[in-house]
A and B are shown apart, each in its own frame.
Chain A
Amino acid sequence: MATLAAQLLLNALALGSAYALVALGFVLVINAVGAVNFAHGDLVMAGGFVSIALAQVAPDAGFFLLPLVLIAMAALGLLFSAIAYFPLRSRPPVAVFISTIATGIMLQNGANALFGAAPRAGPAIAGKGMIAIEGLLLDRQSLAIIAAAAILIGGCHLVFTRTRTGRRLRATAEDPELARLSGIPVPGMIALTFALATALAGTAGLLLSNQYFVTPDEGMALMLKAYIAVVIGGWGRLGGALLGAVIIALFEVVVATLLSQPMAEGLLYAALLGILLVRPQGLFGEALGRRA
């Protein structure tokens, strides 16, 4: 029984780690531009397919695929911001919503045209198979997901708290006008935020695609999970989004085991409604005063 519980918690932690990367990128863009990027799930999906393409070029890259995906997806993030955000940045937020929805559909159809509609398995970054310890089956890829997510989230924390660029990014997110008056190149910081958020989304795509496959049409479900994570944790709160992501994974694994998957899903939404009623600012409180 204890072994099963440990196994379930490990799986939940691995899934939650990948979701945390999705939610982290999602909340970074919300903070930077004050609008929801509805294509964020499609960028996760794109990360899965980019990693499949890169693995064909470098089949033995293993863990080194991670930096390659980060770089490729950061470049895609810059392109995405140039297409979906900057031309509309002076318009009302609804224009950005629609623009990101449209760009997401373009990403979906592009993936469908390039890779086909069938589910595809992404590359493994830590080899295949299980490690058995005391009856506990530790999947190599699950461990790699947890490790990669921990490294990236820790790295983001260091960048935001210990570097000049990180402070500028935070200043831009907190008050773009004041940041501009302080001499911070706000458009550059916003573009950098899109690059970072897309790189994190792409990494989540890489990590999820091996364990759970990737299809061109799965972006919306992932975006919804990120949205829920942010609402649970507190709108604009980085730590809150990470906690929200882990809570979602716990519902999907632990509660689904104790009850059933439909019950777990229903209870997750019931919990979400409860939070909105009792503590609408989320568990960590809102960092932003406006909600998209």
Chain B
Amino acid sequence: MTFDTIAARLALCLLAATLVSGSSHAADTIRIPVLVPLTGILALEGTSQRNGAVLALDEGVPNVQIIRDVADTAAAPEIAVNALERALSEPNVVAVAASIFGTQMLAMMPIAAERRVPLVTISGTAKLTEMGNPYVFRFFPTDAVVKRAQARYVVEELKRTRVALVYQTTAYGQSGQQHLTENLKRLGATLVFEEGLAPTVKEMLPVLTKAKAANPDVLVLQLHSGPTALLIKQAAAMNLGVPIVAGSAMHQPSTAALLEPAELKGVCAESSASPISGGSPGIERFAQTYRAKFGAEPDAFALAQYDGMRMVLAAVAKGARDAESVRAFLASSSYDGLAMTYRSDGTGNMAHDAVILCYDGTSRVPAIVKRYAAGR
């Protein structure tokens, strides 16, 4: 055998070894980009979303290398689209943790459908799952679920029927207002006062003065985090004297941190979960790990995105190694997450439970007082 022949055979062997090694690497390496708003108007919620996704992905799956690049989608749809295009230019993307910002999701969805990659989100925008896009999976209950729970708690548990409703004039606020109004009327309650507020409103005395003049027996809120705290603070200062049942912003530990525990007495809120309230060893472990890793208190957004990514990894653990297999698993399987059991309703809505939590006036940690399971 000549030297040339030996060299040629050696080269072939090396090439074959490289190919085998390369294909093995491709099979056991997956990418799950995390594309969420870390700056801009939804930075607070987007940061929770990022943290939940990162926590889930870092827990990993045995024998699978998971590459998770995090990109800030800020507040503009085009930034989210660019981030998605860039992420999908990499190989082995099996799913994307996608923005909580509905406007960004609407821009990302056609690309996901074209490239056949599932988007796992916690965005509340109703339209996302009404467009027939099979690549969208929402792990946070829609307003149809949580606002129904909020209205039912007001009427059925608190026995209150004269409702003053204050909501934000944003898409989030108006969607909640619409669902609350429908549900409250269906349950026999009367809206004695209703007003929308821009998110920039700082002084809450005017709206509370008018609400009080309408003689309500309950105040229902659908406001963002800061305005929720401002209104509750002012209500406590003027001794409003009626219970307050707020939207999910109130469950965020960062909202409660703005208020004194005494100011929270008699305040309840809807949410999909409340990780800081505990309730199961899994949730308590999640909260501890979250605090240790991020130095912050977890909220329901973090937990929902965590559960969503763990369901994706459950698909991977069962052998899914491409986006289509992951999509099929998400669309057809049931998954017992920490917050609830998730299952698609056929349109990509995975979360169907809600909870009501209340503060007792002595701490900023609420207790879950009522659970509303799917369909009940």
Return B338 CB to nearest CB of chain A, in Å: 23
Measured between beta carbons, the chain A residues less than 8 angstroms from B169 are: 262
Do B196 and A212 touch (CB < 8 A)? Answer: no
Measured between beta carbons, the chain A residues less than 8 angstroms from B206 are: 8, 252-254, 256-257, 261, 264
**Given A8-B209, A108-B39, A261-B207, A213 and B198 touching (CB < 8 A)?**
no
- Contact digits for B198-225, partner A, Cβ 8 Å, 1 yes 0 no: 1011110111011000000000000001
Do B229 and A117 touch (CB < 8 A)? Answer: no
Asked whether any CB of chain A lies closer than 8 Å to the CB of B195, the reply is yes
CA distance A262 to B41 in the complex (A): 21
CA distance A256 to B252 in the complex (A): 28
Measured between beta carbons, the chain B residues less than 8 angstroms from A261 are: 195-198, 201, 206-207
Measured between beta carbons, the chain B residues less than 8 angstroms from A208 are: 202
Return B221 CB to nearest CB of chain A, in Å: 14
Do B43 and A137 touch (CB < 8 A)? Answer: no
**Given A112-B39, A257-B206, A118 and B44 touching (CB < 8 A)?**
yes
Return B344 CB to nearest CB of chain A, in Å: 31
CA distance A119 to B195 in the complex (A): 23
Do B237 and A139 touch (CB < 8 A)? Answer: yes
Do B47 and A117 touch (CB < 8 A)? Answer: yes
Return B171 CB to nearest CB of chain A, in Å: 15
Residue of chain A at shortest CB distance from B44: A117
Return B297 CB to nearest CB of chain A, in Å: 10
Do B225 and A118 touch (CB < 8 A)? Answer: yes
Measured between beta carbons, the chain A residues less than 8 angstroms from B296 are: 116
- Contact partner of B237 among A130, A216, A260, A265, CB < 8 A? A130
Do A8 and B205 touch (CB < 8 A)? Answer: yes
Do A137 and B237 touch (CB < 8 A)? Answer: yes
Residue of chain B at shortest CB distance from A108: B39
CA distance A260 to B169 in the complex (A): 12
- Contact digits for B54-68, partner A, Cβ 8 Å, 1 yes 0 no: 000000000000000
Measured between beta carbons, the chain A residues less than 8 angstroms from B201 are: 252, 256, 261
Do B207 and A256 touch (CB < 8 A)? Answer: yes
Asked whether any CB of chain B lies closer than 8 Å to the CB of A4, the reply is yes
Asked whether any CB of chain B lies closer than 8 Å to the CB of A175, the reply is no
Main secondary structure of the interface of A (DSSP, over half): helix
Measured between beta carbons, the chain A residues less than 8 angstroms from B40 are: 217
Do B203 and A252 touch (CB < 8 A)? Answer: yes
Return A219 CB to nearest CB of chain B, in Å: 11
Measured between beta carbons, the chain B residues less than 8 angstroms from A213 are: 226, 229-230, 258
Measured between beta carbons, the chain A residues less than 8 angstroms from B237 are: 130, 137, 139
Instruction: Mark out the residues of chain B between 285 and 318 whose CB falls within 8 Å of any chain A CB in the assembled complex.
Output: 296
**Given A116-B296, A121-B258, A137-B237, A218 and B200 touching (CB < 8 A)?**
yes
Do A216 and B43 touch (CB < 8 A)? Answer: yes
Return B192 CB to nearest CB of chain A, in Å: 15
Do B43 and A112 touch (CB < 8 A)? Answer: yes
CA distance A208 to B306 in the complex (A): 36
CA distance A108 to B39 in the complex (A): 9
Measured between beta carbons, the chain B residues less than 8 angstroms from A119 are: 44, 225-226, 229, 254-255, 258
Measured between beta carbons, the chain A residues less than 8 angstroms from B198 are: 261-262, 265
Do B225 and A257 touch (CB < 8 A)? Answer: no
CA distance A178 to B302 in the complex (A): 60
Asked whether any CB of chain A lies closer than 8 Å to the CB of B238, the reply is yes
Residue of chain B at shortest CB distance from A253: B203
CA distance A108 to B210 in the complex (A): 35
CA distance A256 to B204 in the complex (A): 10
Return B100 CB to nearest CB of chain A, in Å: 12
- Contact partner of A109 among B39, B207, B226, CB < 8 A? B39
Return A182 CB to nearest CB of chain B, in Å: 43
Residue of chain A at shortest CB distance from B205: A11
CA distance A252 to B206 in the complex (A): 8
Measured between beta carbons, the chain B residues less than 8 angstroms from A4 are: 209
Instruction: Mark out the residues of chain B between 18 and 51 whose CB falls within 8 Å of any chain A CB in the assembled complex.
Output: 38-41, 43-44, 46-47
Do B202 and A252 touch (CB < 8 A)? Answer: yes
Asked whether any CB of chain B lies closer than 8 Å to the CB of A215, the reply is yes
CA distance A201 to B41 in the complex (A): 22
CA distance A189 to B255 in the complex (A): 43
Return B296 CB to nearest CB of chain A, in Å: 7
CA distance A257 to B225 in the complex (A): 23
- Contact digits for A194-224, partner B, Cβ 8 Å, 1 yes 0 no: 0000000000000010011101111001000
Which of B198, B226, B254 has the most chain A CB within a 10 Å cutoff?
Answer: B226
Measured between beta carbons, the chain B residues less than 8 angstroms from A218 are: 200
Residue of chain B at shortest CB distance from A264: B206
**Which 6 A-B pairs give the minimum distances between C-beta atoms?**
A117-B43, A118-B254, A257-B206, A256-B206, A119-B226, A117-B44
Q: Which residues of B contact A (CB under 8 A)?
A: 38-41, 43-44, 46-47, 169, 195-198, 200-203, 205-207, 209-210, 225-226, 229-230, 237-238, 252, 254-255, 257-258, 296
Q: Which residues of A contact B (CB under 8 A)?
A: 4, 7-8, 11-12, 15, 108-109, 112, 116-121, 130, 137, 139, 208, 211-213, 215-218, 221, 249, 252-254, 256-257, 260-262, 264-265
Given contacts A15-B203, A212-B230, A253-B206, 11 further A-B contacts (CB under 8 A): A108-B39, A116-B47, A117-B46, A117-B47, A216-B43, A256-B203, A256-B206, A261-B196, A261-B198, A262-B196, A264-B206
Q: List 10 A–B pairs whose Cβ atoms lie within 8 Å, in order of A's numbering.
A: A8-B205, A15-B203, A116-B44, A117-B39, A137-B237, A216-B39, A217-B40, A217-B43, A256-B207, A261-B198
